[in-house]
Chains A and B, each alone.
Chain A
Amino acid sequence: MENSNKYLSHIKPTWCPGCGNFGIFTSLKNAFKKLDLDPSELAVVTDVGCSGNTADFLKTYVFHALHGRALPPAAGIKLANHKLKVVAIIGDGGCYGEGLGHYINLMRGNHDITVLVHDNSLYSLTTGQTSPTTPKGIKTKSSPNGVIEEPLNPLALALANSASFCARTYALDIKDQTNTIIKAISHSGFSLIDILQPCITFNKTQTIKWYQERVYKLKNRFKNKEEAFKETLRTDKLGTGIFWQEKRPAYHQECQTLKNEALVAKNIKNINLGELIDKLV
Chain B
Amino acid sequence: MKNSINIKIGGHAGEGIKVSGLILTRSLTRLGYSTFSYSEYPSLIRGGHNTYQIQVGLHKVQACLRKLDILIALNQETIKLHQDELKKTSLVIYDPGEFKLPLGELKGKYLAIPLLKITNKAGGKPIMANMASLASVLTLLGIELNTFKDIIRKEFSKKGEDLVKANIEVGEAGKNYVLKNYFQEKLVLEKPKTNLKRMVLTGNEAIALGALAGGLQFYSAYPMTPATSILHYLASIENQTNIVVKQTEDEISAINMALGASFAGVLSMTATSGGGLCLMAEGISMAGVAEIPLVIVNSMRPGPALGMPTWTSQGDLQFVLHIGHDEFPRIIFTPGDAKEAFELTKLSFELAEKYQLPVFILVDKYLSESDFSTQLFKKDHPAKRFSMADNLGPKDEFYKRYKLTENGVSKRSIPGQKGGIHCCNSYEHDENGLGTEEGEMRIKMMDKRMKKMKLLEKEIKGVSLFGPKKAKLSLISWGSNKGVILEALKELKNVNFLHLSCVWPFPKKEVEEFIKTSEKCYSIEGNATGQLTSLIKQETGLTLQSVLKYDGRPFWVEEIIKKFTN
Contact = CB atoms under 8 A, between A and B. Distances in A.
Contacts of B75: none
Contact of A276 (B209, B253, B256, B433): B209
Contact of B283 (A48, A69, A269): A69
Contacts of B416: 40-41, 61, 81, 83-84, 264
Given A73-B263, A76-B258, A274-B379, A257 B242 contact: yes
A68 to B, nearest CB: 8
B506 to A, nearest CB: 29
A75 B268 CA distance: 14
Contact of B264 (A9, A43, A48, A101): A43
B250 interface: yes
A63 interface: yes
Contact of B377 (A66, A255, A277): A277
Interface in A82-118: 83-84, 101-102, 104-105
B238 A56 contact: no
A73 B260 contact: yes
A9 B398 contact: yes
A203 B37 CA distance: 64
A102 B265 contact: no
Contacts of A255: 244
Given A40-B396, A64-B435, A281-B199, A72 B257 contact: yes
Contacts of B200: 280-281
A1 interface: no
B218 A76 contact: yes
Contact of A273 (B213, B249, B420): B213
Contacts of B268: 76
B398 A41 contact: no
A34 interface: no
Interface residues of B, number: 76
A258 B244 contact: yes
Nearest to B414: A264
Given A40-B419, A79-B246, A66 B253 contact: no
B389 to A, nearest CB: 13
B197 interface: yes
B220 interface: yes
Interface stretch (B89-97, B423-431, B492-500): B423-431
A281 B376 contact: yes
B260 A76 contact: yes
Contact of B415 (A41, A269, A280): A41
Contact of B261 (A6, A77, A257, A276): A77
B438 interface: no
A272 B213 CA distance: 8
Given A257-B238, A273-B209, A40 B421 contact: yes
B259 interface: yes
B85 interface: no
A45 interface: yes
A80 interface: yes
Contacts of B380: 270-274
Q: Which of A39, A40, A45, A61 has the most CB of B within 10 A?
A: A61
Contacts of B244: 79, 255, 257-258, 263
A59 interface: yes
Interface in B366-393: 376-385
A11 B253 contact: no
Given A66-B256, A76-B220, A271 B383 contact: yes
B426 A6 contact: no
Contacts of A274: 379-380
B217 interface: yes
Contacts of B397: 59
Given A75-B257, A76-B218, A80-B265, A266 B242 contact: yes
A213 interface: no
B205 to A, nearest CB: 7
Closest 4 CB pairs of A and B: A73-B260, A76-B260, A80-B264, A72-B256
19 contacts: A43-B415, A55-B423, A55-B425, A62-B422, A64-B425, A65-B256, A72-B254, A76-B218, A76-B260, A77-B264, A80-B266, A101-B250, A255-B244, A256-B239, A258-B244, A269-B383, A272-B379, A273-B209, A276-B237
Interface of A: 6, 9, 11, 39-43, 45, 48, 53, 55-56, 58-66, 69, 72-77, 79-81, 83-84, 101-102, 104-105, 255-258, 263-264, 266, 268-277, 280-281
Given A80-B217, A266-B242, 12 more contacts: A9-B398, A40-B395, A63-B423, A65-B426, A69-B252, A72-B256, A76-B264, A77-B260, A80-B266, A263-B217, A270-B380, A274-B379
